[in-house]
Chains A and B, each alone.
Chain A
């Protein structure tokens, strides 16, 4: 179970993490085959478990650069089912748009997944339970969180690789903002902004630490992300069971220095590995796929 069962280990006692970088030139590639091959290397324990896939759906997106592509979601869902998961649910609480069904219909998620009733959960309006945060980086102290998330055995964060105009980059940790229900916190989830975005990212991820991360970097977004930027083709999927290490690897691919991204630097204390020496890279090398993203002038200091 994701909630409260993942240990928060200080960096000195944490073993090295493994991150896989795979090339995928388009959403028409054999993504299921690629994910199957990769997940076998990680051997996630999902047999007879409930898996919750948390994509990044923000708002309607005609260009296909804001939201996690449904082809990647389908591939992940199919692979977790092949690995023996009892149920794979897709759950998201879009941050800007109340019409969740409008977003997923606009994405054509149904064309990839089939009928969505009972498969997709709108986390903005799910039943909630209030839980204490496991860290106190922000003033939040407790969070009302969807029961679909709290009751999941295995949570998979599946963001889009994007720049972000408040925190530099949005990847698997920032993606977890979407589990916080709009019903309680609004659209956007402004409470988290006022509590400090970086600090809120830490508290959310310490409380519900993703068990696995799959970052859709086939087509991402650079510039004024996460919604007003422009398309960036990186042609990669980045995966691993340590979301901090996955995000750090993505940042390096994006030409950013992860140690300079505030929330990543702080996440390295308790949530995962940031140091390149503690990340075992498999698949492609970072140098082989590095493709620097344009960033806003305010974030030039994040450049590697």
Chain B
């Protein structure tokens, strides 16, 4: 089922006489916050970083025709920031890490084949295994007190970590699965299909009892973990190509129940977007976001503004279920 047919689920105010909150605040904020080098920092006038640049690009790309130069400058910054091995760093000079999936997603033009830089990033992601479950890790478990007895999860199901050489976690795995869903399998480097399957199984394995996800430990010392909005949203969006997974249904129910209690604008926007993607009824987002904006100006956070833009616009094509070129065709 293609999710591209669902944009009506998301409210829109562009057609109204009054400029929408998105057009009046979010988009101008993002446009003003772009640095002269083409990237975005987490806050205006801070150094460009990959994550805010990727989210701002994805948010503004919904209306790319209006801001072609903005998008082009952002793409150039992302291309210049890629490391020689294909990964992207969180900040300049750092090693490659979780933001690689977001950078690839931001650069991906769904109407065309993925470019060489994306394929290089994909290769790095495919080769980048988390450290849990490898031979050394298993040997250590035999000699030391095993975390297996503490956290009760299947460490053979490996996704992706935030940083190389660490464990799998829900959010980075979800970001990369969303990227992979947007690239036809014929472009996958060897072994990537298997990694995608493992990543999906890992997410299913890490769901909290009763639904929803936290960072990635659903049970610690026998106590069920408390789900969190962000990981739940991203896991659901990563698994949205199959709407009938039992863990997805339970998690959507949890998200729906907790929607009214969310206190942060970033989480409100993400939850709204996710419920809309799954076709669940959601109350209007704009009044709530504009009210939260009045409190703290989103703490001038570029990522939050970008998520607000995404949630207030049409469901972006990259959150659809089918690979890119098959949708666009």
Decide whether A and B assemble into one complex. yes
Which residues of B lie under 8 Å from residue A105 when comparing CB positions?
263-264, 292, 295-296
Q: Specify the chain A residue showing the minimal Cβ separation from B91.
A: A128
Q: Is A8 part of the binding interface, using a Cβ–Cβ cutoff of 8 Å? A: no
Question: For B328, what are the chain A residues with a Cβ–Cβ distance below 8 Å?
Answer: none
Q: How many residues of B contact A (CB 8 A)?
A: 52
A243 vs chain B, min Cβ distance (A)? 27
Closest to A125 in B: B42
Residue contact B296 to A101, C-beta cutoff 8 Å: yes
Q: Is the CB of A116 within 8 A of B296?
A: yes
Chain B residues closer than 8 Å to A228, beta-carbon distance:
220-221, 223, 225-226
Q: Which A residues are in CB contact (< 8 Å) with B205?
A: none
Is A122 in contact with B266, judged by CB distance below 8 angstroms?
no
A127 and B299 in contact, given A102-B263, A105-B264 (Cβ under 8 angstroms): no
Would you give the shortest CB distance from B261 to chain A, in whole angstroms? 9
Question: Which of A126, A130, A183 counts the most chain B CB atoms within 10 A?
Answer: A183
Cα distance, A8 to B61, chains bound together (Å) = 51
List residues of A (176-213) whose CB comes within 8 Å of B's CBs: 182-188, 190-191, 193-194
A residues within 8 A CB of B46? 126-127
Residue of A whose beta carbon sits closest to that of B131: A194
Residue of A nearest to B304 (CB): A101
Please state if B220 and A102 are interface contacts (CB–CB under 8 Å): no
Give the residues in chain A near B297, CB-CB below 8 Å: 117
Please state if B98 and A186 are interface contacts (CB–CB under 8 Å). yes
Minimal beta-carbon separation of A294 from chain B (angstroms) = 13
A187's partner among B150, B171, B303 (CB-CB below 8 A) is B171
Structural contact, A99 and B229, CB atoms closer than 8 A: yes
Interface centre among B46, B172, B263 (most CB of A within 10 A): B263
Residues of B within 8 A of A227 (CB): 226
When distances are taken between beta carbons in the complex, the residues of chain B under 8 Å from A165 are 150, 220-221
The residues of A that contact B91 with a CB separation of less than 8 Å are: 127-128, 144, 183-184
With A59-B228, A194-B166 as known contacts, state yes or no: A187 contacts B215, CB within 8 Å: yes
Is B163 part of the contact surface with A, judged by Cβ < 8 Å? yes
Do A103 and B296 touch (CB < 8 A)? no
Bound: A92/B297 CA distance, A: 18
Q: Which residues of B42-63 have CB atoms within 8 Å of chain A's CB atoms?
A: 42-43, 46-47, 49, 51-52
Instruction: Assess whether B214 is interfacial by the CB under 8 Å rule.
Output: yes
List of A residues within 8 angstroms of B191 by Cβ: none
Closest to A130 in B: B93
A101 touches which one: B43, B150, B163, B266 (CB < 8 A)?
Answer: B266
Inter-chain CA distance A60–B263, complex, in Å, is 9
For residue B115, CB closer than 8 A to chain A, the reply is no
Q: Is the CB of A99 within 8 A of B131?
A: no
B9 within 8 A of A: no
> Which residues of A are found within 8 Å of B296, using beta-carbon distances?
101, 105, 110, 115-117
Most buried by B among A106, A186, A228: A186
B225-256 contacts to A, CB under 8 A, are 225-226, 228-230
* Contact residues in A for B169 (Cβ distance below 8 Å): 186-188, 190
Confirm or deny: A134 has a beta carbon within 8 angstroms of a beta carbon on chain B. no
Min distance, Cβ B29 to any Cβ of chain A, angstroms: 13
- Are B166 and A190 within 8 A (Cβ)? yes
Report A209-237 CB contacts with B as 1/0, cut-off 8 Å. Answer: 00000000000000010011000000000
Identify the 4 closest CB pairs spanning chains A and B, nearest first: A102-B264, A186-B162, A125-B42, A99-B264
**Which A residues are within 8 Å of any B CB, using their own CB?**
59-60, 96-103, 105-106, 110, 115-117, 120, 122, 125-128, 130, 144, 165, 182-188, 190-191, 193-194, 224, 227-228, 296, 298
B residues contacting A by CB (< 8 A) are 41-43, 46-47, 49, 51-52, 90-91, 93-94, 97-98, 131, 145, 150, 161-163, 165-167, 169, 171-172, 214-215, 220-221, 223, 225-226, 228-230, 262-267, 292, 295-301, 303-304
Q: List 29 A-B contacts (CB under 8 A).
A: A96-B228, A97-B228, A98-B171, A99-B267, A102-B262, A102-B265, A102-B267, A105-B263, A115-B296, A117-B296, A122-B42, A122-B299, A126-B46, A144-B90, A144-B91, A183-B51, A183-B91, A184-B94, A184-B97, A186-B97, A186-B161, A186-B163, A186-B166, A186-B169, A193-B166, A194-B131, A194-B165, A228-B221, A228-B223
